[in-house]
Amino acid sequence: VFSLTSWKTPSVWWDERTRPQKVCLCPFLPLHPLHISTHLYIIQHPAEENKVLRTVPLLAACLPPDKCKVKIGRRFSEERDPELSTVCRKSDTLILYPGAEAANLEEFILDSPIYPSTIIIIDGTWSQAKDIFYKNSLFRLPKQVQLKTSISSQYVIRTQPTNRCLSTLECAAAALSILEKNNYIQETLLRPLQALCSFQLQHGAQIRLSKEHLLKNGLYPKPMPKNKRKLRKMELLMDSVKI
C-alpha cells in the first residue's frame, strides 16, 4: 500500500479531525512500473526527506527501481560516490537545470549525435538546488538542458517562486516523455500528483499561489526583506525576470 500521511503544519486553521490520517494513492499508480529505457538519477537535498508532501516517492513508485535512483546529500565527489561520478562523465548523460547555458531538451535531442541514456534532476527548493548544482563540479560535466514549457505547475499545495516553476515529479514527467517519445508517460506520472493535491484540498489545504503572483498583485503576506540581495530577488520576481 502506498500512502502519504496528511499535511502537518502548525499554521493550519481547519479542524484536524476532518483530515485523514493516511491517504492511499494506489488506485492512481500504474499497475506495473512504466517501461522506460532512460536512467533517471534524482539528487535530493537532505531537507526533502522530512517533508510529507514531497513528489519523489510518487515518481519512484511509478518507475522500475533500476531506472530511478535517488542520491541524498549536499556534496558529491568521485571519492564519495564513484557510481555517480562515472554517470556524470558519460557523454550520453544530461542534467536538467535551467540557465543561460542550458539547451532546450527537445531541440538538443534532435541535433545530438549521441542519444541521451541518462538524465539527472536535482530535488529541493530552488535555493537548495542552486547550491547543489554550483558547489558540485561533477554536475557541470554532463550537458545542461532545460524544459521549454509555458504550463503552470499542478503541485498547487506548495508555494513556488514563479508561475513557471515545476515540481521534481513534473520535471521528470516532462523530460521522460520527451526522451522516450511517449506522452503517456507524462500523463501516468502526473496522475498520483493530481490525486495527492486533490485529497489535500478536499480536507482543508489551500491552493498556494506563487511568490511571483502574490508580489505582482500586492498579496504577499510578509514584509519586504531588508537584505539587499533578497530584496533584489523579490524585485526580479515582480518583473518576471529569471533568477
**Which residue, 202, 118, 112, 214, is CA-closest to 160?**
214
- The residue with cell 557510481 is 83
Q: What is the pLDDT of residue 199?
A: 84
pLDDT, the chain, mean: 82
Q: Does position 213 have pLDDT exceeding 80, yes or no?
A: no
Residues 6+ apart with CB under 8 A from 217: none
Domains of the chain, residue spans: 28-208, 211-242
What's the grid cell of residue 179?
526522451
Q: How far is CA 118 from CA 132, 143, 176, 184, in A?
A: 19, 11, 10, 19
Closest CA to 95 of 186, 185, 172: 172
| Across 18-43, average pLDDT | 86
CA distances from 67 to 34, 61, 105, 219 (A): 10, 11, 19, 42
C-alpha cell at 25: 494513492
CATH 3.15.10 applies to domain 28-208: no
Give burial (CB, 10 Å; 0-12/13-18/19+) of 216: middle
What's the rounded Cα separation, in Å, for the pair 34 and 37? Answer: 10
Query: Distance between CA 117 and CA 94 in Å, rounded?
Result: 8
What are the cell numbers at 30?
Answer: 500504474
Average pLDDT over residues 166-183: 95
Banded pLDDT at 239 (limits 50, 70, 90): low
pLDDT for residue 135: 96
Q: Specify whether the CB–CB gap between 186 and 236 falls below 8 A.
A: no
- Predicted TM-score of the model (pTM): 0.79
At residue 119, what are phi and psi to the nearest 5 degrees? Answer: -135, 140
Rounded-to-integer distance, Cα 225 and Cα 164, Å: 23
